[in-house]
A = this chain, B = another copy of it.
Amino acid sequence: MEAAGIELVLATSKHNVRYLLGDYSLFFAHFDAVGVDRFLPAVGYPRGDSGRAFAIASELETWQHEVSPPWTSTVVDGCQTSAETVREAGRLIDSLGLAAATTGVEKAFFPAAALDELQRAFPEARFVEASGLLEELRTIKRPDELELLRDASERIVESMVAAVEGARPGTTTSEIAERLRSEEVSRGLDFEYCLITAGSSLNRAPSQAPWLEGGILSLDSGGNLNGYIGDLCRMAVLGEPEPLHVQLLGEVQAIQDAARSAIRAGVRGAEIYEHALGERNNCRHGKHASFVAHGIGLVTHEAPRLTDKGPIRYPASHAERPLEPGMVLSVETDLKVPGVGFVKLEDTIAVTDDGYEAYGDGARDWITVDV
């Protein structure tokens, strides 16, 4: 905060409020709309003065906070809307003598109306972007965070195995996705999404498309445990895989394993890509392959950033910086082979001093389902 000249951080995103408090509203875990406004939680953290940090939530969190009190000395549980949150935050900022402070906010997670109101209330304050700073805090995971990511990953893979088990020729991808959702929830996960393909289709949305005998199936799903997201992809086949299918998954495994072999503390992030892309060149179907690796935690794509390519176009902050123990990576390789199908593995890898630990690392070969 000092380097950024920030005197107060006012966090309002779900992930950073959860990170700073260690907990989040159970009531507003999914939705946030209330009338024509929205619930807006907030955590205020004055630089170098955690004793005067504050938390703002709604009346509904009163009970949750009674059961499990937040660590901040000030907790205000009476703000159901962003208008109320901003009024209360203003009162607290004033009482801290920070009316003219440089205040770090998350501008993608601060409603326009609420930030306008705060700026009007404190015309001398300067509101600057603090999302990068907050993300940096989250880059290295604590042991309890690693535990949650491990558990989430394991439960997702178990759920995938269970979800395909009951399938029969003709079961639709919607039905399997729905079954997966139930399996994850019954294991205590908060289900997020399922991308799924069946047969030779490259369309990954759940649909009425049937899974047929001999057809391959990709299951890519995210689910969280206390906000910490597991995100993995596994492959199944209804019957036995054809030799070409075995070959393709073998190539995906080879690329994934090449990437993994590079991972340990001290290695530059870019080396992971160098290993993976080197192996891709050895693969018969390498021209169909996509590879991506990125940090994961409370957000599906977060620091460390190993590349500025791929779906999330951010600066590659860790391409030339060394990996550190406690970083967690999602490593993904897919082959989109026209006429054959979509073959993918996605693994969760925690960086350790002397290598890595893979979370939820089962079922990386073909999951075969008896016809």
Chain A residues near B (Cβ < 8 Å): 13-15, 26-31, 33-38, 59-60, 63-64, 66-67, 80-82, 105-116, 129, 131-132, 135, 178, 181-182, 185-186, 188, 190-195, 203-207, 298-302, 305, 311-312, 314
Of the candidates A28, A82, A110, A311, the one having the most CB atoms from chain B within 10 angstroms of its own CB is A311
Tell me the complex Cα distance, A60–B222, Å: 14
Contact A30 B131 (CB under 8 A): no
> Which chain B residues border A206 with CB–CB below 8 Å?
26
Hey, which chain B residues are within 8 Å of A190, CB to CB? 30
* Interface pair A192/B38, CB less than 8 Å apart: no
Q: Are B26 and A193 in contact (CB under 8 A)?
A: yes
Q: Is the beta-carbon distance between B193 and A29 smaller than 8 angstroms?
A: yes
CB distance from A121 to the nearest CB of B (A): 15
B82 near A108 with CB under 8 A, answer yes
Contact of A36 among B26, B34, B135, B178 (CB under 8 A): B135
Return chain B residues, CB-CB under 8 Å to A107: 111-113, 116
In contact, A192 and B30 (Cβ under 8 angstroms): yes
Cβ–Cβ contact B301 & A132, under 8 A:
no
Copies in the assembly, this chain: 2
Of residues A116, A132, A205, A314, which shows the largest number of chain B Cβ atoms within 10 Å of its Cβ? A205
The one of B15, B66, B312 that contacts A203, using a Cβ cutoff of 8 Å: B66
Determine the distance from Cα of A60 to Cα of B205 in the docked complex, in whole angstroms: 9
Q: A107-B111, A193-B26 are in contact. Are A66 and B35 (CB under 8 A)?
A: no
Q: Which residues of B contact A314 (CB under 8 A)?
A: 35-36
**A66:B205 contact, CB within 8 angstroms:** yes
